[in-house]
Amino acid sequence: GAGVSQTPSNKVTEKGKYVELRCDPISGHTALYWYRQSLGQGPEFLIYFQGTGAADDSGLPNDRFFAVRPEGSVSTLKIQRTERGDSAVYLCASSLTEATDTQYFGPGTRLTVL
């Protein structure tokens, strides 16, 4: 079946602009994670959804970052007033039910803030 998909694959924006990054998890997966990965580093946890609710958003770096999952499937990561330091690959992962289940990652969205 289809894996986790993320759109767009690449996003170039200017400093101060607003961006939205989309994640389509594997159908039926209730758990969804967002991560940020900088060059040469491992993924850094941002937020975890169980169903429609954010069960853990302790990794969001500041209030410019926000994520939603209104129907318990597709999720959108929203970044306001982007800064050059936000440039990274944003990864989404989903798992069947709980956080301990195997996570399946999408290919990521490469965000570049000029």
CB of 16 to another protein, least distance (A): 28
Do 114 and 12 touch, CB atoms closer than 8 A?
yes
CB of 51 to another protein, least distance (A): 13
- Identify which of 70, 65, 67, 34 has the alpha carbon closest to the alpha carbon of residue 52: 70
CB of 108 to another protein, least distance (A): 5
Residue 86: helix, strand or coil by DSSP?
helix
Comparison of 79 and 89: residue with beta carbon closer to another protein: 89
Comparison of 83 and 101: residue with beta carbon closer to another protein: 101
- Identify which of 24, 26, 30, 36 has the alpha carbon closest to the alpha carbon of residue 99: 30
60 to 89: interface string for another protein, x by CB under 8 A: ------------------------------
Among 7, 13, 56, 76, interactor with another protein by CB under 8 A = 56
Residues 6+ apart with CB under 8 A from 23: 4, 5, 6, 32, 34, 74, 75, 76, 77, 92, 94, 106
Interacting residues toward another protein by CB under 8 A = 4, 33, 35, 40-45, 48, 55-56, 58-59, 91, 93, 99-100, 102-108
